[in-house]
Amino acid sequence: MESGSERKYYIDWVRVLAFSLLIFFHCAMPFVDYNWEIKNKETSAGLTRLIWWLHQWRLPLLFFISGVGIHFSLKKRSVALFTGERFVRLFIPLLFAMFFTIPLQVYFEWLQRGKITGSYADFYPTVWQFVPYPDGSLTWSHMWFVVYLFVFCLLLIPIFAIFRIPMLNKWKARLANMLSHPVLLFLLFIPLMLYHFNLYLEYPEQASLLDDWFLFLFSLTLLFYGYILGGSDRFWNTCSKYRYYFLGIAIACILYLFPEYWWHLNLPKVKDQRLYVFGTLNSIHIWALILSILGFAKKHLNFSNNFLLKANQAVYPFYILHQTLIVSFGYYVTQWPLPIFIKLILLIAVTFTSLVLLYRYLIKPFKLTRLLYGMKLKEKGK
């Protein structure tokens, strides 16, 4: 990410590390108590609690970073070119994944659950019946993040266009600098809290786009925060300077939330004081943790190396493919008579190795596969 001639490498690092965490997260899903595509017979209570905590903030962080990316993208291109680029890099990979990679997940899920018994060749034509999952086999699955991101970009086009006006663009910069005061910055958790109060119970997370108002507005708000704040050096400096304060606030919330709500998943079920306490503390926890992560990245990760250059290009194809590979390999790994920890390590290793090989030899070298997996058609410097 760039501001003028200075590249903000720490933003690239946050993006790469956040998506890397996603691979661990989904590799762990067969071994936790929550329902998922592929399940192991035994589950781990400790892993379940860790995954639940990660679930609170990993995607909010990614939506914020996506908003930052939108800010810098619009500095280099018009709104029309930006919209066309979003279509190419988000919508085309989404359609390709829904029809040609994600169906393999559904196949192994249904195979494990005994819903089907035939080969993949027998199963695959059901995708083209266009019956949505779970009744049918057509789904966007983990690509819901891309769906929401694409829709958010379309919805915000008028705002992006307005802020192209020089006077209003200066106003946006002044607003970002004003909000970068540590107290005002911290108070941006309030909209997230209000979503908990008013939408959390009525609209539980579905990732279905429709009738999913809690997740939709929560994610849209964080993306908008990233778009507004991401270009302000004052914002990044505030995150860096107060990173320990933000981390301390997040930890204080965690110390209350875990025993009271998360340890036994005793989440609010009615609109009462427990919901208000949960909504307040979880919103503070998520926002303060995001600010702390950004601050530590700004302080310690403002550098580049060969790994970052390569990983930054590979991260999107890895994201598109990772869950399909995890479910496919997980179908077999969960059947082996091994401890959960060993299965988890094996699943991570075989998934990551396969991602590297597929990216290196199938996706990266060819223009068509680069297009289908959301990459630029040409590598930088070529």
Q: Is the pLDDT of residue 7 over 90?
A: no
Residue with token string 């956040």: 18
> 20: closest CA among 370, 382, 367, 348?
348
Whether this model's pTM surpasses 0.85:
yes
Going by pLDDT thresholds of 50, 70 and 90, the confidence category of residue 1 is: low
Please report the pLDDT score of residue 380 as a whole number.
Answer: 61
Confidence of residue 3 (pLDDT cuts 50, 70, 90): very low
Q: Kindly give, in sequence order, each residue whose CB lies less than 8 Å from that of residue 92, ignoring residues fewer than 6 positions away.
A: 371, 372, 374
Which tens digit of pLDDT belongs to each residue from 28-40?
Answer: 999 999 899 999 9
Longest alpha-carbon distance in the chain: 65
Provide the percentage of residues in the chain whose pLDDT is more than 90.
93
Could you write out the DSSP letters of every residue in 39-72? --SS--HHHHHHHHHHHHHHHHHHHHHHHHHHHH
Tell me which residue of 302, 345, 349 sits closest to 13, measured CA to CA: 302
User: Which residues are paired to 132 by β-bridges?
Assistant: 138
Per residue in 196-221, pLDDT tens? 999 999 999 988 998 999 999 999 99
Q: Decide if 138 contacts 127 (C-beta within 8 A).
A: yes
pLDDT surpasses 70 at 2:
no
The residue ranges of every structural domain in the chain are: 2-102+140-372
| Cα end-to-end distance, the chain, whole Å | 20
